[in-house]
Structure 1
Amino acid sequence: MNAPDTAVKYRAPALDKGLDILELLAAQPAGMTRGEIVRALDRGPSEIYRMIERLVARGYVGRSVEGDRYALTIKLFQLGSAFPPLRRLVAQAQPLMDLFAQDTGQSVHLVTPDLGQSYVVAQASSSSPWEFRLRLGAELDLFTTGSGQTLLAFMTPAQLEHTLNMRGGAEREIPSPLATALEEIRLAGYRMAPSQQLVGVSDISVPVATGGQDIVGVLTCPFLPLVGAKGSSVETQLADCLSALQNTANRIALI
């Protein structure tokens, strides 16, 4: 059963209202008034009021001192961070990612798949004054990003089928040009190509697997050439960075 079919068959209106509020507030750094939430969700004031009060009581939403604005608390972050498989993976990866960033002068982030998309769950900042990095929690499309394509390339058939089913619609099938690119990534063992989102950035992505089979994530370095760096040429810097990233991924998989 895939996600769209499930959404149609099983409905829980009260739960949907609560989730709508949480998702709305997640995009509002300054919070919102109750009236703004009512207008944005196009629902009745009384039903929104009751749901907000329950979310406040359970600690998912906080009320401003003045009492007229509502914003998310840190509780959702705490729940996500407490999820055992993710907590273990990040705990294993973070010190090794920090070491990679220190040694190479490049930033790096760890991406894991979930519900037909992929998400940044850890990142390490470059020791250089200049870097490009993604924020924690950033959602990355599987079809159009280096991290996403690398995840797809190294998924087992069962993982791939489940992931595509979660996407739904026309995206349950991989387009032919992308299928060719995924095969090239599998054969190479990594993906290294210009970023599809930013000019001047080269994405280097390598898989992180457990037991040599199931991919659990991808390490991606958004590579920026460093003027005056050891190794002189950009090609040499890229090769050295790829080697260091592969070594980091292998060490994470062995822990």
Structure 2
Amino acid sequence: MSIKEGERALPRPPREQEEGSSREALYRAPALDKGLDILELLASRSDALTRAEIVKELGRGASEIYRMLERLVARGYVYRSAEGDRFALSMKMFVLAQHHQPIRRLTSRAMPLMDRFAEESGQSCHLVMRERDQAVVVANAAASADWVFTVRVGTTIDLLSTGSGQLLLAFQDPQAKAELLFRWRDTEKAATFAGLEAQLAAYREAAFRIDESQQIFGVNDISVPILSAERHALAVLTCPHIRRTASAQPDVGHTLVLLQKMAKALSLQ
């Protein structure tokens, strides 16, 4: 077909652009797109949103947003406020990310440093990460002495009654705190958490925790956080410090310094 005089041919899009557009149209998944839109919106906001606000922000129908929100709440990716009218992102995607390569890189980076710490201090240590409303020991290192105390990898520990757990709570981000309080509402854990808040603030100010173990007599737990760039806890390093009668070893203060040096090397600056 010839182009008449005075008319201009519209430029054709590049071939790869045409192919990309056709592929996008071919593999569209509207339901998935709606779910991802909601997750991305909630991730961009520090405050919880009402369903009406989500509908307005996304420009979608109220009924389709309602159905998708209910599924995201049921699967644990979004949580509903105690009043039932606001929605916010849960920590489930954060937990999934813990199984991703960057988290494995943290443990692989930590292990040589933990082994060196155990050799220098004569004490064991373990690395703890949070998972929902508890924490898990993901790595440990033991001194070469005949008498040592270690916590087994894979051990789940309570956030409220352990040194590692309390330091994770002290350095949690606001979203994590909101999620915990939502899950613990009207329970004994909520009351315990409220009673600990002043103490947690002191740990955050000091950037470490030293206290007698609440699980084992004669052990002083020394805990320090591994921090993100925003100063939220990625993990916690804990040394269950024990005193031996027959050998010289670093005291609690010196052990703390060694632990802090290791945590600084692993934190994101």
The structure-2 alpha-carbon separation of the partners of 1:84 and 1:178, relative to structure 1 and needing over 3 Å to count, comes to: same
Q: Which amino acid aligns with 1:252?
A: L
Q: How do residues 156-195 of structure 1 correspond to structure 2 at under 5 angstroms?
A: 156-167=173-184, 169-170=186-187, 171-172=189-190, 175-195=193-213
Cα RMSD for the two superposed structures: 3.0
Structure 1 residues 167-206: Cα deviation after superposition (integer angstroms, max 9, x where no partner): 5652346544311221221122111010001100110000
Q: 1:88 aligned to 2:93?
A: no
Contact 2:160/2:193 (<8 A) preserved? no
Q: 1:107 aligned to 2:124?
A: yes
Q: How do residues 1-255 of structure 1 correspond to structure 2 at under 5 angstroms?
A: 10=74, 83-167=100-184, 169-170=186-187, 171-172=189-190, 175-230=193-248, 237-254=251-268
The structure-2 alpha-carbon separation of the partners of 1:175 and 1:225, relative to structure 1 and needing over 3 Å to count, comes to: same
Matched residues in 2 for 1:138 and 1:100: separation? 21
Contact 1:115/1:166 (<8 A) preserved? no
Matched residues in 1 for 2:185 and 2:126: separation? 27
Q: Which amino acid aligns with 2:253?
A: A
Measured after TM superposition, the shift of residue 153 of structure 1 is: 0.7
Gaps of 5+ in 1: 12-78
Gaps of 5+ in 2: 1-47, 49-69, 76-95
Matched residues in 2 for 1:110 and 1:165: separation? 27
What's the TM-score once normalised by structure 2's chain length? 0.60
Structure 1 residues 99-127: Cα deviation after superposition (integer angstroms, max 9, x where no partner): 10011010000000011110000000112
Structure 1 residues 38-74: Cα deviation after superposition (integer angstroms, max 9, x where no partner): xxxxxxxxxxxxxxxxxxxxxxxxxxxxxxxxxxxxx
SS of residue in 1 equivalent to 2:112: helix
- Of structures 1 and 2, the larger Rg is shown by 2
Q: Which amino acid aligns with 2:205?
A: L
Measured after TM superposition, the shift of residue 227 of structure 1 is: 2.7
What's the TM-score once normalised by structure 1's chain length? 0.63
